[in-house]
Structure 1
Amino acid sequence: MEEDIPSGSLSPLHGFGFEVRAVRLGRKLTQKHLAKGSGYSEAYVSRVEKGQLVPSERFARGCDVVFGTHGVFERLRRRLEESDHPLWFVPYVQLEEKAERILDFSPSLVMGLLQTEDYARAIFRAAHPRAAEDVIEGKVAARLRRREIFKREDPPALWVVLHEAALRTAVGGSAVMAAQLEQLLGAMERPHVDLQVVRFASGAPDGRLRPFTLLGMPDAATLLFRDAPHGGGRVYDAAAMVGPATEIYDRLRAHASSPDDSAAFVKSLLKEYRS
């Protein structure tokens, strides 16, 4: 028996998956039929229908061929790319909303969940120098909406390891950085947030490390999100990927200053930005 996809979700991926499933059932086709006709596996079809996987352009075209929908699903997929989040980031955001524990390592920038509005705006403007103002503001708003997870009755435990470089990179200028550090200090006072700083003097277990995040999910699974080899990012659930990342995170915490010492260091930097 096929599992139902989540109902009532407004996410772009769930919307695409809902439409695929609705049309498939309306045509009285099984996932096996769609898989064979589109050139993908039944597992792939199932994950797309559940909103767990970003559909490829080829899969969207395959849906149109199998269903005879004359480009409808190609157009739906193109709409996914118009989201305020990059398409590759949408699966992570959906998982972040459900996570019980978030462990993040940020070597060069403050992680998105802890960014101020002005800090986020400066990052997006630098990354998209020719983008229209409304595009930038849409991305900023989408990033700030991610904070809603902390308004849950049971907010996720957040543990962040920041490299000193992330705090010394003057994103947006001194005033923006001062406000950002103030926000970090406020976050560190919350019972569900821990933050440690890896100082320059401490070195690091591996200087090639890129940012990554570990998500502890309600079903006890741990997922890894990190940069993909060819750009963007990807969520991994394989033990061969998650296990080593967990060990690296433990080493990072061991090399970092304690939360109290980290708070004292952030306060000292705040004075520098204010002077």
Structure 2
Amino acid sequence: MDTVIGTVGAIGEQGGAGYGAEDTADPGNGFLRCFGRQMKLLREAAGLTQAELAVLVGYGEAQIASVEQGRRIPKPELVDAVDRAVGAGGVLSAMKAELGRARYPGFFREYVRLEAEATELHAYDSQVVNGLLQCEEYARAVFAMWRPLLDEDTVEQRLAARLDRQKLFARRPAPLLSFVIEEAVIRRPLGGPHILRCQLEQLILVGHQRNVEIQVMPIDRDEHAGLAGAFTLILSKTRRRMGYVEAQSQSAIHSDPVKVQNLEATYGILRAQALTPKESMGWIETLLGEL
């Protein structure tokens, strides 16, 4: 059976995970509004104004108002602080996991769940460095230059969510991770030369982990198996093989064996055409030295 999850006007991994028309009906947004109303009712029951609650929890009044209006996703520590301040008895804190999932566009949440539990993850990237490999400055630049422009709150929410995904590297037992990245992607100075330096250092740092292999696809290759675009292969903890594909206007998680096998074959050829992991680390270190 093939599972397909589609969207309109948003990008999760290859781009900025921006808001498009689909967010109006996004169930995550509905949950945020519900959480905000619950928080407001509990605050009022405790006899506190927004300003008084802000002082008690150490956050700004505007932030409290944004959370209550469902316009901002609160950090876990703010949720816990508000829960204690209004005497919610853990009611608000119990919603932290769902709030965490609400940080992602609706179409991307299932992929994030699968990614977090994967025993193997293999990705080919042709537009930007994979989100799991992005340094904070690079990720911020990607979100900041997304069109149409994202507001600052959304940029910060998406940035926090992307960095949170990188906890995958610290998970034990460690998953097996590999990445094939286009040379042009690595050379592209998104945000400026200083951010490129940060990103190259991040690739070197992550690439030397024993469970991670990074390969560079040189520009000068006269044969290339990845012309159809970027994709990710996932092996779940239940040994289920899936493929994730994303483009300008849609994304899909495939579980049909034929489709997944085709992607696996393509990825195998891509790895054979790219520089080896050792050669790739040397290439990235040389590029860093030239900056």
Q: TM-score, normalising length from structure 2?
A: 0.65
8 Å contact from structure 1 (residues 89, 234) kept in 2: no
Structure 2 stretches lacking a partner, 5+ long: 8-24, 33-70, 72-101
Q: Give the % identical residues.
A: 30
| 1:215 alignment partner in structure 2 | 234
Equivalent in the alignment of 1:107 = 126
Deviations 1:117-160 (Å, cap 9, x if unpaired)?
Answer: 11011111111453221210110000000011222221211100
Name the TM-score, length of structure 1 as normaliser: 0.68
Determine if the alignment matches structure 1 residue 270 to structure 2 residue 288: yes
Report the 3-state secondary structure (helix = DSSP H, G, I; strand = E; otherwise coil) of the residue aligned with 1:127. coil
Q: Tell me: higher relative CO, structure 1 or 2? Use CA pairs within 8 A at least 6 residues apart.
A: 2
Q: 1:139 to 1:77 in 2, by over 3 A?
A: closer
Q: 1:75 to 1:243 in 2, by over 3 A?
A: closer
Query: Which residue identity is paired with 2:30?
Result: R
Structure 1 residues 201 and 130, CA gap change in structure 2 (3 angstroms): closer
Q: Which residue of 1 aligns with 2:188?
A: 169
* In 2, Cα distance between equivalents of 1:121 and 1:232: 23
- Equivalences for 1:68-217 in 2 at 5 Å? 76=27, 78-79=29-30, 83-128=102-147, 130-206=149-225, 208-217=227-236
2:209 equivalent to 1:258: no
1:247 aligns to 2:265 (yes or no): yes
- Partner-residue secondary structure (3-state), 1:97: helix
CA distance in 2, matches of 1:77, 1:201: 44
Q: Secondary structure of the residue that 2:215 maps to in structure 1?
A: strand
Deviations 1:64-112 (A, max 9, x none): xxxxxxxxxx784642698332211111001001100000001121100
* Residues in 2 aligned to 1:87 and 1:167: alpha-carbon distance in whole angstroms: 29
- CA 1:109–1:80 in structure 2 vs 1: closer, same or farther (change >3 Å)? farther
Q: Distance in 1 between matches of 2:198 and 2:251?
A: 28
Task: Give the letter for the 1:189 counterpart.
Answer: H
CA contact 1:53–1:91 (8 Å) conserved in 2: no
User: RMSD value over aligned CA atoms?
Assistant: 2.6
> Does 214-223 or 244-253 show the bigger shift?
214-223
User: Take 2:240 and 2:266, find their aligned partners in 1: how far apart are those partners?
Assistant: 18
Residue-pair matches, total: 205
Q: CA deviation at 1:205?
A: 2.6
Equivalent residue number for residue 6 of structure 1: none
Residue pair 1:55, 1:77 contacting (<8 A) in 2 also: no
Q: Distance in 2 between matches of 1:242 and 1:53?
A: 13
Residue type at the aligned position of 2:162: R
Moved over 4 A (4+): 52-56, 74-78
Equivalent residue letter for 2:204: L
Q: Distance in 1 between matches of 2:208 and 2:174?
A: 15
How many Å separate the matches in 1 of 2:4 and 2:260? 19
Aligned AA (2:274): A
Moved more, 146-155 or 173-182: 146-155
Q: CA deviation at 1:239?
A: 1.1
